[in-house]
Each structure stands twice: as structure tokens, then as C-alpha cells.
């Protein structure tokens, strides 16, 4: 097992590849039409904690299929590789790996929300 990075090392390496965004800045970018918030939490968490108004819900296992603007299964919001996507998970860990995967697809402006949905809610930002 030597030579293999643990998850903490992997997250650190992935996060060095892009600039993460804080909840208030993500809210402002979304409100200004400058970013697409994408909630990748699974249904039970969304039902328990609520939703970010205006966020597109795409569960993690479908994310790349839905956001690749060249893909046949893309959502209408997947307009181009320059789309600024802010991936939101529950606490800001899975979203980092998801954002890195979007970078590999060519979505070079993809990022994730520091602290995830929990940080969004703690910041007093809107939840439905």
C-alpha cells in the first residue's frame, strides 16, 4: 500500500487545481447569473435539510453525463465548457472530487462550495 495517497492527500492535491468558493460569494454569483449551483446530495439529505433555491439537482452518479456540453444526456443549462459550475455536496468533500472530474471533462471554471450545504445554511443563505 505504500505510494498510495489517502483521501486527505487526494483532496489536498485536487483542491490545489482550482479556487474553491465560499457560500456568500457563491450566492452572489448565482444571483448575478454568473454561476450555476449544482446540488449533488442524495435525496435523503435534500429531503431532510432542504434545497438551495435555484440550484440544479443532479445526483453525483449523473453529474458528468448531465454537465458535459458535448454529451447526448446533457441538461439545457450545460451551455459550454466555460460554464461556471459550483458543485454543492453536504459538507464540501465529495464536491471537491466532483469539481475535479468536471475539470477533466474540460469544464475549466468548475469549482465547489467550501463547507457544502451545511456551510450555506450556517451562513444564513436561503434554503427551501
- Model pLDDT for residues 47-90, shown as the tens digit of each residue: 999 999 999 999 999 999 999 999 999 999 999 999 999 999 99
| pLDDT at 1 > cutoff 60 | no
Burial of 36 (0-12, 13-18, 19+ CB in 10 A): buried
User: What's the pLDDT at 45?
Assistant: 97
For 5-23, what is the mean pLDDT?
95
pLDDT tier at 2 (50, 70, 90 boundaries)?
Answer: low
- Model pLDDT for residues 17-37, shown as the tens digit of each residue: 999 999 999 999 999 999 999
User: What's the pLDDT at 5?
Assistant: 76
The whole model's pTM is what? 0.95
Quick count: other Cβ atoms within 10 Å of Cβ 115?
21
| CA-closest candidate to residue 60, choices 80, 78, 87 | 87
Q: CA-to-CA distance for 68 and 24, rounded, in angstroms? A: 26
Q: Where do we find the cell 440550484?
A: 55
User: What's the pLDDT at 126?
Assistant: 98
Q: Where do we find the cell 471537491?
A: 96
Grid coordinates of 17:
487545481
| pLDDT at 3 > cutoff 80 | no
Amino acid at each position: 500500500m505504500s505510494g498510495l495517497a489517502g483521501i486527505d492527500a487526494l483532496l489536498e492535491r485536487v483542491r490545489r487545481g482550482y479556487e474553491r468558493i465560499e457560500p456568500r460569494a457563491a450566492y452572489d454569483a448565482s444571483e448575478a447569473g454568473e454561476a450555476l449551483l449544482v446540488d449533488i446530495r442524495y435525496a435523503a439529505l435534500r429531503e431532510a435539510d432542504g434545497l438551495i433555491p435555484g440550484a440544479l439537482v443532479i445526483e453525483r452518479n449523473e453529474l458528468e453525463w448531465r454537465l458535459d456540453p458535448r454529451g447526448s444526456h446533457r441538461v439545457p443549462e450545460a451551455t459550454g465548457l466555460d460554464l461556471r459550475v459550483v458543485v454543492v455536496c453536504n459538507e464540501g468533500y465529495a464536491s471537491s472530487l466532483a469539481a475535479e472530474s468536471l475539470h477533466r471533462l474540460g469544464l475549466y471554471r468548475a469549482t465547489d462550495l467550501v463547507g457544502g450545504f451545511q456551510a450555506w445554511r450556517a451562513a444564513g443563505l436561503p434554503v427551501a
